Amino acid sequence: MAINTKEFFNRDLSWLRFNHRVLQEASDIRNPLYERLKFLAIFSSNLDEFFKVRVSDIRKIKELDKPLRKKLITKPNKLLSKIKSQVNKQQEEFGAIFFNEILPELAKHNIHLLKIEDLDSQQISFIIAYYESIKHQFKIIKNEDFKTLENEVLYLVGSSTKGDLIGLKIIEDISRFVEIPNKKGENNFIFIDDVLRFALKENFESEFYALKISRDAGLYIDSEYSGDLLEKIKNALPNRETGQVTRALIDQLMPNDLISKLEKTLDINETDLVKGGRYHNFKDLFAFPEVENDVLYFKNLPPIKNERFTNKSSVFEVIEQKDQLLSFPYESFNDVITLLETAATDKTVTKIKITLYRVATDSSVSKAILKAIKNGKEVFVFIETKARFDEQNNIKWGKLLQDNGANVKYSYAGIKVHSKIFYIEKIENDTLKSYAYIGSGNFNEKTSKIYTDFGLMTANPKITSEIAQVFQVLEGNLIIPKTKHLLVSPFTTRSTFTKLVENEIENSKSGKEAYIVLKLNSLQDDKMIQLLYKANNAGVKIRLLVRGICCLVPGIKNQSEHIFVTSIVDRFLEHSRVYIFANGGQEKLYFGSADWMTRNLDYRIEVITPILDATIFQQIKNQLEIQLNDNAKARIIDHLQTNTYINTTIKASESSQHIIYRSLL
């Protein structure tokens, strides 16, 4: 059946609407100024990855033979045109926010980002001297060298007196923002770009314009199903820096003759060009020089210390007594590390098994596993080497763990292991005891401070025995896990969710209360969306909280008029996935690592757990209820994806994230 826009939003255009919600946070005057700068940096970083990954994929469709391409739903040229149009509008909005809103507000706090024309003679002398002190670190690029421009690196481009292309790479070792002599009480900075433009114009008698290219970030290996997949990934990583150009972001004032030379040299066309402002690489705003002024930053929300885990030696006893729920970043991820470190040193612990998808560069989780190996524990680690942009770091930790004696397994062909689980066995008084952890977020101390996630620690044998089965699959000792409680992709997740939705449909037809509440990062799978439409037409009430991609179109008669969708973008990245079904009065609640995307349901190993503990069941429901009622940071996802705040009249409302934090104190 052909898909029309009434039934589904396009995935990539929907993602761009999510990034627009990030841009809205940069414009939101309720956020402190330096936090608004960070939202601009997040927007810019997100967009870079979008062009490296998604636009690259769309361009690959263009390379298919025409007869095959005609059979596809996606029309690549039309979609790329829509993407470019939306990106151009967002870039204009970005510039207006930065130059017309944020910089004037910073000036009120005596923080100035100056231009060359703003400088007095003393400051001009300073930047000339500064350039002389750093110019030896720069190399002028000419002609053919442009074909090897680096991915996501900022360049300045001009013309020589002979009309040849010349350029200069703005190296990352030098701060993007140069502090210049200040008047008392002022903080004055200037873009390094402007310092270099000033000097280059003197040297080459040419204006210089900003350029940044994005390259295809795909790892195109010949086959995942033959040979050594790990070695193939290692060998393919360098190719990421030389992939096809998918975007050339240029200064909109760049003259046409210079643009033509770039197009010819880089082998790109007008479709690949995105015209931006004078400055690019705004992800560098993450490093905008800080000043001492508390009003410029979010109020600190230190992770809440769990008194349950203060005595490390009793952590297993605490879990045996009752399942334990952790809510990140409101509560500390250190409790997870404490459990692993305790297991590493506990003489009764015999086995530790864990999946690693994205770990920190300096990973305390991995260090705890190393300690366990040195203490003679039997350790199994599954390393997912296809976690995009984390491949190198994951391979590094995998080798270190393997070299120290862990049984390490790497990526499977055709499938990613995206679950966030570990399993511990101990023998105490000749009795085997097992413990498990299931999370919605990665074992990463850094992201645990900014991503909202749930983590469940349990000694319930209904769960631990099934986690053990999942690890048997990962170790290659079992083909299909036989789970009655856990949902495990790609084996039972889709079929179980389908049955749960169909059960709501039947209950609604029978006159029973029927509802579905889902919190997801992304909703894309067309079969699940069609099933939700079917539930809508049966009278099932459906409430969705979707942070990012939402291909479901709400509010359409005879399709989705009973479906209400909101999205929250706030200081923390909403990352947990929660699924609730009325179930005829015997409500069911699950959480886990899987979105309702085809890849999560069919092409990844995911683990989703039911909540069997009544207290934890209510804790998760309470948090979700707070978020469903958010009237500060929630936007309505309507049939036009306009990103309208759910309540535009309440400007001083407290966000759901702050309310949840207070509730856990």
Quickly list DSSP for 435-489: EEEEESS-S-TTGGGTEEEEEEEE--HHHHHHHHHHHHHHHTS-SS---SS-EEE
Q: Rounded to an integer, what distance in angstroms lies between the CA atom of residue 94 and that of residue 17?
A: 14
Classify strands 140-142 and 154-159 as parallel, antiparallel or unpaired. unpaired
* φ, ψ dihedrals at 74, nearest 5°: -75, 125
Return d(Cα 32, Cα 295) in angstroms, integer.
6
- 172 pLDDT band (50/70/90 cuts)? confident
Domains and CATH numbers, the chain: 11-296 (3.30.1840.10), 307-478 (3.30.870.10), 489-664 (3.30.870.10)
Count CB-CB contacts under 10 A for residue 266.
19
> Both tokens of residue 268?
């790109």
CA–CA separation, 45 vs 43, rounded Å? 6
Q: Which two tokens stand for residue 275?
A: 């015209």
pLDDT digits (tens, 9 = 90+) for 570-584: 999 999 999 999 999
Which residues lie closer than 8 Å to 639 by C-beta, 6 or more apart?
A: 553, 554, 555, 556
User: Which whole-number Å values give the CA distances from 122 to 132, 180, 234, in the listed order?
Assistant: 16, 10, 52
Q: What is the pTM of this model?
A: 0.91
Residue showing tokens 């010949």? 222
State residue 334's pLDDT score.
92
For 147-170, b/e burial (b = at least 16 CB within 10 A) is: eebebbbbbbbbbeeeeebbbbbb
Each residue's pLDDT tens digit, 71-119? 555 678 889 899 999 999 999 999 999 999 999 999 999 999 999 999 9
Q: What is the distance between the alpha carbons of residues 519 and 510, in angstroms, rounded to a whole number?
A: 26
> What residues contact residue 36 under an 8 Å CB cut-off, 6+ apart?
25, 26, 27, 28, 97, 102
Instruction: Supply the pLDDT for residue 260.
Output: 92
Least Cα distance to 443 among 421, 425, 465 occurs for: 421
Distance CA 59, CA 76 (A): 7
Place of tokens 């690592």: 593
Residue 91 falls in which region: left (phi positive, over 0), alpha (psi -120 to 50) or beta: alpha
Q: Residue 183 pLDDT more than 90?
A: no
> What is the percent of the chain where pLDDT is above 70?
91
Residues with a known catalytic role: 418
The candidate with the shortest Cα–Cα distance to 595, out of 631, 636, 548, 556, is: 548
Detail the DSSP E strand segments found in 287-384: 324-328, 349-356, 378-383
Query: Confidence band (pLDDT; 50, 70, 90) for 2?
Result: very low
| Mean pLDDT computed over every residue of the chain | 90
Alpha-carbon distance of 377 to 375, in angstroms, equals 6
Answer whether residue 404 shows pLDDT above 60.
yes
pLDDT for the residue 4 = 43
**Is 76 within 8 Å of 59 (Cβ atoms)?**
yes
Which stretch of DSSP H or E encloses residue 54? none
Lowest-pLDDT range, 31-35, 203-207, 378-382, 565-569? 203-207
Asked if 475 and 409 touch (Cβ cutoff 8 Å), the reply is yes
Identify the burial level of 530 via C-beta atoms within 10 angstroms of its C-beta, where 0-12 means exposed, 13-18 middle and 19 or more buried: middle
Give dist(CA 559, CA 537) in Å, integer.
6
Query: Which contiguous run of DSSP H or E holds residue 167?
Result: strand 165-169
